[in-house]
Amino acid sequence: MASLLSFSLPKPNIIRSSSATPTTTTLTIPEALDEKFGRKGIKFLESNNVPFVELTVRNGSSLRLTIPDAHVTSYKPKVYWKDEGFEEILYTIPAGAAADPTKAKGGIGLVINDASEKSSRGSLLSGSEWTVKDTDSDAIDALQVELSCTAGTLDISYVVSLYPLSIATAVIVKNNGRKDVTLTSAILSHLNFKKRGRTAINGLKGCSYCSHPPLSSPFELLSPSEAMKSESSGWFGSESEEKPGVWTKQDVPITILKNKLSRVYAAPPSERVKPFYDTPPSKYETLDQGRELFFRVTRMGFEDIYLSSPGSLSEKYGKDYFVCTGPASMLVPVVVKPGEKWRGAQVIEHDNL
């Protein structure tokens, strides 16, 4: 874990309930979590019977993480020097307003799907519930929460860290079974933008990409079929995307995301059998020209970059615009052998101050 994040976790402890332990006071779940794992800047709370944790560092930057589904629903970094210089960066539809009234949509979601040939189970996380495994802090300039769950023969840890200028999400998958496990995975972030025509991505010039649907996810705002559906010409016009499977080179440094697209930036699978091949950059930037903000997205452990914009479909969710992007292993699944671990991470950071 130390190789992914700037400080390591202590030996984890897990809350275990026991009816044999006498108690004089019945604690709520947030109270029990706060008593066990609470630290300065880390507060456990509850909304509509769903426990969540709020992290707040010294400069006021904060995030919110719902515990049962490991869903980051809010990230508000300090991006201006003024006193109230915080902006919500994530695009999240609350549970009550989403199509599924029990789940929020958007935000930052971890996706781990079964990619074995004969499997039809899809998401490995759909039937799993996350629990708090540990917390850590470095004063209140770096805060960290580790969640864990079990999916079949897999032990999965998800570490969410907050710093004054960044948020990091890291996953560790361990295969405790006797057979190889084949996975597709991603950490997908739905980022909020002020104006559709002033939303862009920078840093992918020269990369190979093709049209491709996103991995199916409980947090998706657009389903794979919706993401791939062509958009009719409107006020902004329409740019035709290449057909799925047709590879193209990005020939401009900045891509304006006012039109609908769904892409994976990656080395084509046919190229990966060669001794040397070009890979996507480890870092790229999102540009919100409406708010004059930019954020740098860094991938670790993942081979691909997923990127989509909704075009006019964003209007059904409100006046703001959003983009879905993040590191992924979509085209060539990850194989985790018995007894081995696979790690992947994403960091979103900024220099707006």
Instruction: Tell me the per-residue pLDDT of 304-317, one tens digit each, with 9 for 90 and over.
Output: 999 999 999 999 88
pLDDT value, residue 99: 63
Confidence at 24, pLDDT banded by 50, 70, 90: low
**pLDDT score of 16 more than 90:** no
- Using a 10 angstrom Cβ sphere, with 0-12 exposed, 13-18 middle and 19 or more buried, the burial of residue 251 is exposed
pTM over 0.95: no
Percent of all residues in the chain with a pLDDT value above 70, rounded to a whole number = 87
Percent of the chain with pLDDT over 90: 76
Read off the tokens for 165.
């200028």
Q: Which of 1-5, 282-286, 294-298 has the lowest mean pLDDT?
A: 1-5
Q: DSSP states of 109-150 as a string?
A: EEEEEE--TT----BSSTT---EEEEEEEETTTEEEEEEEEE
pLDDT at residue number 116: 83
Determine the pLDDT at residue 157: 98
pLDDT surpasses 80 at 18: no
pLDDT in tens, 137-176: 987 899 999 999 999 999 999 999 999 999 999 999 999 9
Q: How many whole angstroms separate alpha carbon 43 and alpha carbon 216? A: 31
Residue 280 three-state SS? coil
Rounded to the nearest 5 degrees, what angle is found at the Cα of 106, between the Cα atoms of 101 and 112?
A: 100
Over 70: is that where the pLDDT of 29 sits?
Answer: yes
Residues in the chain: 353
Reply yes or no on whether the pLDDT at 322 is more than 60: yes
Residue 231 has what pLDDT?
A: 79
182 has pLDDT over 50: yes
pLDDT given for residue 240 in this prediction = 58
Checking if the pLDDT of 2 tops 50, the result is no
**Residue 17 binned pLDDT confidence (cut-offs 50, 70, 90):** very low
Higher-confidence residue of 345 and 240: namely: 345
Q: What is the mean pLDDT of the chain?
A: 88
Report pLDDT for 258.
95
Q: Are 135 and 35 in contact (CB under 8 A)?
A: no
Angle at 184 between CA 179 and CA 185, to 5 degrees: 120
DSSP state of 233: -
Cβ-Cβ contacts under 8 Å for 171 (sequence gap 6 or more): 110, 112, 156, 157, 158, 159, 185, 187, 343, 344, 345
pLDDT recorded at residue 27: 81
**Would you call 352 helix, strand, or coil by DSSP?**
coil
Report the pLDDT value the prediction gives residue 21, as an integer from 0 to 100. Answer: 46
pLDDT tens profile 256-283: 999 999 999 999 999 999 999 999 999 9
pLDDT at 8: 41
CA pair distance 70, 34, nearest whole angstrom: 17
User: pLDDT tens digits, residue range 79-108?
Assistant: 998 878 999 999 999 987 656 667 899 999
Task: For residue 285, name the pLDDT band (cuts at 50, 70, 90).
Answer: very high
- 99 vs 299, residue with greater confidence: 299
Can you give the pLDDT at residue 232?
A: 66
